[in-house]
């Protein structure tokens, strides 16, 4: 456990670093009216906090910056409740009064407002991600080497796709596979189908099907949903470029590349928001190396207790945690209220 003084100094360093993006020295903390300790005392405490892993010292500087562990402690124990400015509250509230009848419009609009207010990147998962699941899968042979794959969802959506049947794979073999797939994967959300194919079906198919690799390739093609991108809404993607820690083009490129990988992004958002309330993932707590210097804060919006979608804010680990948490809290509650009426 940290002492009260250490907690105060860690809070001061995180707050100053979020504001300035510059390492924080003992002298600048001692000048703050709310601290009241000498630079020497603060220096000793900073040294202890560094030993405990809460602070890091960049090689070129006498000041310290928070480590991922420091940010995590700050978020879990020290982050103050953020008072959102009244004009910003109005901005959050008024867009529900606009004539937005389509849920997708509401989500896109919410994303734009979020990225504009925070100057970070907003990522929203649309409701159908959670609601659209496989009802039925069919494979209709056209000739010896092609077939039409038909995916029917529980919402009545039908997707057709022409797929190639590899040489040596018989129609009866494919029928066996289709029956097995319907038995095992009916009810699985569409975005999880491809991973479920390997986890739920893989071993059984390997036992019962002689051309396992070829059959998996056909199914992979057939279940590759072409409109996945419509379910993830991004806004403010290039806001990353304005952050001082992302002046390194390679760092930003790997982040921007990942933001274009819709299935990966969807999985990250779903796992990040698996708990209730606001979830904060800092640096290496994120599931992907590209986000190792980022924080992802998520909240779910729900109807009648059932999670409908996820709102996420992606920014540097030097993020305005209190402000973002405050805004997401309000927005997720408002979206829940709005969607309950529609």
Q: Give the domain-ending residue among 228, 258, 273.
A: 228
Tally the domains of the chain.
3
Residue 125 in domain: no
pLDDT at residue 62 greater than cutoff 90: no
Q: What are 270's two structure tokens?
A: 């779903």
Q: Give the domain-ending residue among 190, 205, 228.
A: 228
Q: Does one domain contain both 98 and 191?
A: no
**pLDDT 10s digits, 102-119:** 566 777 888 899 999 999
Residue 276 in domain: yes
pLDDT confidence of residue 60? 72
Q: Does one domain contain both 222 and 241?
A: no
Produce one character per residue of 224-258: b if its CB has 16 or more CB atoms within 10 Å, e if not.
Answer: ebeeeeebbbbbbbebbeebeebeeeebbebbbeb
Q: What are 196's two structure tokens?
A: 């479920």
Residue 102 in domain: yes
pLDDT confidence of residue 120? 96
**Full residue range of the structural domain in which residue 305 is found:** 86-120+236-340
pLDDT confidence of residue 275? 67
CATH of the domain at 186: 3.30.390.60
Per-residue CA distances from 120 to 20, 75, 93, 182, 302 (Å):
16, 18, 20, 42, 24
Query: ∠156-161-164 over CA atoms, to 5°?
Result: 145
CB-based contacts of 186, cutoff 8 Å, min separation 6: 133, 134, 135, 136
Q: Does one domain contain both 95 and 189?
A: no
pLDDT confidence of residue 95? 65
Confidence of residue 321 (pLDDT cuts 50, 70, 90): very high
pLDDT confidence of residue 307? 67
Residue 128 in domain: no
**pLDDT 10s digits, 88-100:** 888 777 766 665 5
């Amino acid at each position: 456990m940290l002492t009260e003084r250490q907690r105060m100094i860690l809070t001061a360093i995180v707050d100053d670093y979020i504001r300035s993006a510059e390492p924080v020295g003992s002298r600048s903390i001692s000048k703050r009216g709310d601290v009241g300790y000498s630079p020497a005392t603060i220096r000793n405490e900073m040294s202890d906090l560094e030993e405990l892993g809460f602070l890091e010292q960049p090689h070129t500087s006498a000041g310290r910056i928070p480590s991922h562990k420091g940010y995590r402690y700050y978020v879990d124990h020290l982050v103050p409740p953020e008072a959102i400015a009244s004009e910003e509250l109005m901005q959050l509230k008024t867009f529900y009064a606009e004539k937005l009848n389509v849920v997708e419009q509401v989500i896109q609009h919410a994303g734009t407002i979020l990225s504009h207010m925070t100057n970070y990147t907003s990522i929203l998962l649309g409701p159908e991600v959670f609601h659209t699941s496989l009802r039925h899968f069919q494979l209709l042979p056209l000739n010896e080497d092609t077939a039409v794959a038909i995916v029917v969802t529980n919402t009545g959506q039908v997707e057709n796709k022409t797929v190639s049947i590899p040489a040596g794979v018989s129609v009866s073999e494919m029928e066996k596979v289709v029956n097995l797939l319907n038995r095992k994967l009916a009810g699985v959300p569409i975005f999880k189908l491809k991973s479920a194919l390997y986890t739920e079906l893989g071993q059984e198919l390997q036992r019962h099907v002689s051309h396992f690799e070829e059959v998996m390739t056909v199914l992979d093609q057939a279940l590759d949903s072409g409109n996945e991108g419509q379910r993830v809404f991004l806004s403010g993607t290039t806001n990353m470029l304005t952050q001082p820690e992302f002046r390194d083009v390679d760092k930003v490129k790997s982040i921007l590349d990942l933001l274009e990988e819709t299935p990966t992004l969807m999985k990250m958002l779903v796992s990040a928001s698996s708990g209730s309330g606001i979830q904060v993932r800092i640096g290496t707590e994120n599931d992907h190396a590209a986000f190792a210097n980022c924080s992802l804060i998520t909240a779910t919006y729900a109807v009648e207790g059932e999670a409908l979608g996820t709102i996420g804010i992606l920014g540097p680990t030097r993020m305005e945690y209190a402000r973002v948490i405050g805004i997401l809290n309000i927005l997720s509650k408002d979206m829940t209220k709005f969607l309950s009426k529609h």
